[in-house]
Amino acid sequence: MNDPLLVVKTSLKPLQAPLHQPFRVAGGQHESLDNVLFMLQTAGGARGFGEAAVATHITGETIEQTFKNLKQAGAWLTAKSINDYLNLSARLHERLPDNKSAVAAVEMAAFDALSRHLRLPLWRLWASRPKTLRTDITIVIADLEETEDKAEAFYKKGFRAFKIKIGRDMDLDFKRVEAVCRITARSKIILDANQGYSARQTLQFLKSLSKIGIVPDLIEQPVPKADWEGLKKVTRESRVCVCADESCSSVADVLSIIKEKAAGAVNIKLMKSGLVHALAISRIAHAAGIKLMIGGMMESNLAMTASAHLAAGLGYFDFIDLDTPFFIKGETARNPYLSHDGVYDLSRVKAGIGITYKG
């Protein structure tokens, strides 16, 4: 009997768009959205869309590498059934150990096509109803004036959770955090150093903030990803919950975090682990009492909404950081399930992820 979930065709193309402002973090910045769109079609006519978000300054991946690997992955995937997604995922991780965004793109497209074939929204694979999500908004690294202007503008739009990028200049970071807290009174505050500080600097920075009455809700990846002792030190000695991002990219990583009590939260990103492993990491961390953030790289509405399906379906994420569509200009920023003030409501998605592209 013919299998309607056999892959009969794959294709890929650039997914590019300008930004409203450079997305600056401690280790580099995005000047534009510059990703790869992966598409597949099954024998039964279902189409699936996936996105590889390349962040060279964070992961070391490149567009050229990702295009090459996705082209090879598409050829390998042809004539295989996406119904066997667990085995396909395992093989993809073996083939692409250093290009997880490519793994994420293929898995995203496969799950999109599978749920479209089933005529179900993607979140329905994990729950009977989706949880409504409200994302934070990122205040990127900038001078004090730009920081104040952006914080005020987003606050007026209705955002009440702010993720402040820090990690380049402690003195300026302090002024920027103080300004955002003053402008966005009673909002949730998350700090993200993107590996920019040492443990000593982080503890000093948090102590200085505490003296003026600022206690963030979370501090994300304060130290370099390989500095496990530093991560544990900040976790032990700070009253602020510490979130591992770059330090948590696999099931092995989250198991180490749990065993060593290295962090109180982990950031789940499809681009770090693919969808199948992201699901496993989420469930393991939640079972162990670790708080969860859902985040991403510089991603279009396709990948951001796929991540939203995961978080809305599982229903137990503590921090939602799916805001990059608000930094993108043009078609890739349009989303019928995302409000102007950052609320994802996926109850109206009829099938799949709910975001499509021509091609």
What pLDDT, on the 0 to 100 scale, is given for residue 269?
Answer: 98
What are the residue ranges in the chain where pLDDT is below 50?
none
Predicted pLDDT at 357: 86
pLDDT value at residue 334: 81
pLDDT of residue 101: 97
Structural tokens at position 62: 């490149």
What lies within 8 Å, CB to CB, of 25 at 6+ separation is 57, 58, 140, 141, 165, 167, 192, 194
Per the CB < 8 A criterion, the answer to whether 189 and 180 are in contact is yes
What does the alpha-carbon distance between residue 41 and residue 47 come to, in Å, rounded to a whole number?
Answer: 4
- Interval 71-110: pLDDT, tens: 999 999 999 999 999 999 999 999 999 999 999 999 999 9
Question: What is the predicted pLDDT for the residue at 113?
Answer: 98
Which domains occur in the chain, in start order?
7-119 (3.30.390.10), 124-348 (3.20.20.120)
For residue range 213-236, list pLDDT tens digits in order: 999 999 999 999 999 999 999 999
